[in-house]
């Protein structure tokens, strides 16, 4: 009995330690999470109003990409810069840019082509270069031992949420392989808000449900939003068939959200579920129409 109590206390201590990083963060961590080929990157592109991230069929995103608005107060002394006390230049002077970092999964032996670009250095935003570094179909892309911090100037995006100290994270799909999927889930576990992107044609997987039950163990009642993508593919269905598909997805979503303590009623679940077309939203955004984040999610 005593040993069981000690084990229980140790588990609580682990939870408390893991929560420390969440409490001291300056920005909300919002990963766009889900299976491979769910349309995660396209949704993010629509949110920021440009084809910032590589997006195509199959496994595309090969590393973690973190997007936030560039702010001068971030140009203070950065502990990740090798030179002690080094100070980054003003972001308002640099404009949109990105920085390559080592992720929590990096080891001394992990090297790849991206090392030709110095870690922790400011690189002016070059979208083709960013695609080459993060697209799994590129010759030698970054892997999940690295992540890319992307800082967008205020006039270089259309996402009002970024002005509210938010970090949007694009992640590799969790269904590519177990090792990568497990690392992605570990990386997203401490999120402030979880945005689950699900392909309408496939639905919520058992693996996804297991992940959020684990998230609940860390922090009860996690904040989860669900976007069902490629909804435009259902447009050709008969209205009654389309409504039946929607009801089925809402039922599954309610089951997930209730099991995590996020909601208690179907009406609450409906407020957290959105049926979207990332492709159409991106086309609208590129067409200079007023597309804002919550209309996408």
E strands of the chain, at which residues?
Answer: 28-33, 64-69, 97-102, 122-124, 146-152, 166-170, 194-199, 224-229, 273-275
Put simply, whether the predicted model's pTM sits higher than 0.75 gets the answer yes
What distance in Å separates the CA atoms of residue 83 and residue 86, rounded to the nearest whole number? 5
What distance in Å separates the CA atoms of residue 65 and residue 75, rounded to the nearest whole number? 19
What distance in Å separates the CA atoms of residue 282 and residue 274, rounded to the nearest whole number? 16
What distance in Å separates the CA atoms of residue 127 and residue 137, rounded to the nearest whole number? 15
**22-296, what's its fold?**
Rossmann fold (3.40.50)
* Residue that wins the pLDDT comparison between 82 and 123: 123
What distance in Å separates the CA atoms of residue 183 and residue 163, rounded to the nearest whole number? 29
In this predicted structure, what is the pLDDT of residue 283? Answer: 84
Q: What is the pLDDT of residues 149-159, one digit of tens each?
A: 999 999 999 99
Q: What is the pLDDT of residues 17-62, one digit of tens each?
A: 555 555 567 889 999 999 998 899 999 999 999 999 999 888 899 9
Residue 87 is classified by DSSP as B
What distance in Å separates the CA atoms of residue 157 and residue 264, rounded to the nearest whole number? 36
Cβ neighbours of residue 116 under 8 Å, at least 6 residues apart? none
Q: DSSP 3-state helix, strand, coil percentages of the chain (rounded to 5)?
A: 45, 20, 40
Q: Model confidence at 8, in pLDDT bands (50, 70, 90)?
A: very low
* Of 21, 39, 14, residue with least CA distance to 233: 39
Which of 88-92, 178-182, 250-254, 293-297 is the most confident on average? 250-254
* Dihedral of the alpha carbons of 120, 36, 197, 123, in degrees to the nearest 10: 20
Neighbours of 92 (CB within 10 A): 12
In this predicted structure, the answer to whether residue 126 has a pLDDT above a threshold of 50 is yes
């Amino acid at each position: 009995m005593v040993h069981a109590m000690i084990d229980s206390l140790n588990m609580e201590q682990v939870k408390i330690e893991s929560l420390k990083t969440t409490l001291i963060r300056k920005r909300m961590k919002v990963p766009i999470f889900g299976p491979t080929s769910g349309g995660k990157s396209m949704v993010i592109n629509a949110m920021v109003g440009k084809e910032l991230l590589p997006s195509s069929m199959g496994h595309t995103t090969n590393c973690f990409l973190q997007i936030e608005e560039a702010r001068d107060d971030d140009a203070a002394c950065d502990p990740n810069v090798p030179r002690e006390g080094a100070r980054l230049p003003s972001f308002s002077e640099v404009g949109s840019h990105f920085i390559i970092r080592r992720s929590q999964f990096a080891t001394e032996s992990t090297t790849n082509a991206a090392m030709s670009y110095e870690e922790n250095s400011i690189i002016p935003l070059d979208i083709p270069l960013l695609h080459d570094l993060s697209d799994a179909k590129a010759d030698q892309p970054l892997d999940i031992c690295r992540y890319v911090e992307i800082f967008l100037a205020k006039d270089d995006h259309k996402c009002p949420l970024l002005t509210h100290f938010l970090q949007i994270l694009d992640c590799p799909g969790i269904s590519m392989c177990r090792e990568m999927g497990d690392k992605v889930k570990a990386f997203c576990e401490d999120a402030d808000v979880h945005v689950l992107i699900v392909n309408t044609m496939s639905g919520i997987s058992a693996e996804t449900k297991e992940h959020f039950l684990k998230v609940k163990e860390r922090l009860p009642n996690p904040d989860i939003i669900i976007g069902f993508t490629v909804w435009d593919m259902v447009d050709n269905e008969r209205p009654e068939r389309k409504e039946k598909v929607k009801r089925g997805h809402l039922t599954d979503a309610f089951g997930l959200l209730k099991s995590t303590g996020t909601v208690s009623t179907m009406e609450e679940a409906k407020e957290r579920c959105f049926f979207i077309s990332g492709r159409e939203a991106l086309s609208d955004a590129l067409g200079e129409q007023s597309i804002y984040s919550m209309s996408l999610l």
